[in-house]
Amino acid sequence: MNKLNVALIFGGKSGEHEVSLLSTASIYKHINKEKYNVFTIGITKDGKWMYYEGTEENIRNGKWVNLANLNVEINLVPMGNKEVGLLFEDGHIEKLDVLFPVLHGPYGEDGTIQGLFEISQIPYVGCGVLASSVGMDKLICKKVFTQLGLPQVNYTDTNRWVFNKESEKELDSIEDELNYPIFVKPANLGSSVGISKANDRKELLEGINEALKYDSRIVLEQGIDAREIEVAVLGNEDVKASIAGEIKPAKDFYDYEDKYINGTSTYEIPANIDSKSMEDIRNMAVKAFKGIDGKGLSRVDFFIDKKSGEIFINEINTLPGFTNISMYPKMWEATGLDYADLIDKLIDLALDSRK
């Protein structure tokens, strides 16, 4: 059987560049190289595309930038007589059967690069343009969830132009709508980058200023004393949800440092919740995924209020972390689908979506 040519595309311009390197190194290590010819295409922090051929360790530590082969031409846009694929120095072209983006955050998870993939007409892993852009934008996604009838904590929003013009008035308005603690989040980012928890007006101002470094639009959410529950979803038309897992943050919330650096938070899979809550959460995860027209994969995050037991959907991540400690593959592993088979399934779904 001929091997499929699969290109892992990693790095990128977003604040989650380093997360992408960790996820890609893990996928590269576990992908079945007897089934696939694996090509690796890195995108630098300033947006340069480079072909890299080497070890996963040099992907992980960022040294791939200095080891990239700049003589290999990457062409994903059909132009004139040029074939789409990788043009090597000896003149031969490697056509790509599947593109596997491992790009988190803006320019990778927000529909922009998915638009390029659509133009290339090469099947690709994950959600399409619409689902990616909606899933990435926390504010728009919340509005879609409202239309779907999915329960959420109270929230409001602001933006750079309004806040810079009349910050005191905006702070008053936020305090009128929400009680402390308040979570402050950039509208378009993931992996908890730029997110903070404000317990008073001073911290709220600091949190908004920090979030504005990453995006011009800010989401503010009512903080509740809650358990953090996550579910992995997989599929195109026939969508399945994994068993749910619970994050037990070492700090006030599960932040970037804990997700990808020190790993001091713990998790429990399956989550210690009653069977009805487990079923409700899995069903809501599938509903949210289908509601944004998701394809391939996503991780859907929930809160369970510790006092009332109410379940609230938090957000959907259309290209979740894929490191060896990431919840998405861990939850599928606990459900009966191991890491390598999960990669196979995602590639199959990418091919199926183009039929």
pLDDT tens profile 142-156: 999 999 999 999 999
Residues 140, 76 share a domain: no
DSSP state of 309: -
The Cα 15–Cα 191 span in angstroms is 9
Residue 323 located in a structural domain: yes
Residues 198, 77 share a domain: no
Residues 161, 97 share a domain: no
Partner residues linked to 316 by β-bridges: 300
Residues 6+ positions from 188 with CB-CB distance below 8 Å: 105, 106, 110, 136, 137, 138, 214, 215, 217
Residues 314, 168 share a domain: no
Residues 200, 147 share a domain: no
| pLDDT in the model for residue 254 | 47
CATH of the domain at 113: 3.40.50.20
pLDDT tens digits, the chain, 355 residues: what are they? Answer: 689 999 999 999 987 899 999 999 999 999 999 999 999 999 999 999 999 998 999 999 999 999 999 999 999 998 877 889 999 999 899 999 999 999 988 899 999 999 999 999 999 999 999 999 999 999 999 999 999 999 999 999 999 999 999 999 999 999 999 999 999 999 886 546 789 999 999 999 999 999 999 889 999 999 999 999 999 999 999 999 999 999 988 755 545 555 545 556 789 999 999 999 999 999 999 999 999 999 999 999 999 999 999 999 999 999 999 987 899 999 999 999 999 999 999 999 999 987 6
Q: Which residues sit in the known binding site for ATP?
A: 138, 183-185, 191-192, 221-228, 314-315
Residues 167, 145 share a domain: no
Residues 314, 213 share a domain: no
The Cα 27–Cα 4 span in angstroms is 16
Q: For residue 31, which of 56, 14, 13 has the smallest C-alpha distance?
A: 56
Residue 130 located in a structural domain: no
CATH of the domain at 282: 3.30.470.20
State which of 170, 195, 222 marks the end of a domain: 222
Total number of domains constituting the chain: 3
With contact defined as beta carbons under 8 Å apart, do 334 and 342 qualify? no
| pLDDT in the model for residue 260 | 47
Residues 247, 108 share a domain: no
Q: For residue 31, which of 63, 71, 59, 72 has the smallest C-alpha distance?
A: 59
CATH of the domain at 203: 3.30.1490.20
State which of 205, 222, 239 marks the end of a domain: 222
With 0-12 / 13-18 / 19 or more C-beta atoms within 10 angstroms meaning exposed / middle / buried, residue 276 is exposed
- Residue 24 sits at the vertex; the CA angle it makes with 22 and 25, to the nearest 5 degrees, is 65
Residues 261, 141 share a domain: yes
Structure tokens at 314: 């938090």
Residues 293, 144 share a domain: yes
* Chain centroid, CA 249 distance in Å: 19
The Cα 123–Cα 114 span in angstroms is 10
Residue 214 located in a structural domain: yes
The Cα 282–Cα 139 span in angstroms is 22
Q: Which residues sit in the known binding site?
A: 138, 183-185, 191-192, 221-228, 301, 314-315, 317
DSSP state of 12: -
Residue 129 located in a structural domain: no
State which of 222, 238, 269 marks the end of a domain: 222
Residue 104, CA atoms < 13 Å, CB-side half-sphere = 25
Residues noted as catalytic: 16, 191, 326
pTM: 0.90
Helix axes 201-211, 167-177, angle to 10 degrees: 110
Residue 96 located in a structural domain: yes
What's the domain range around 173?
155-222
Residues 110, 42 share a domain: yes
Residue 347 located in a structural domain: yes
Residues 258, 189 share a domain: no
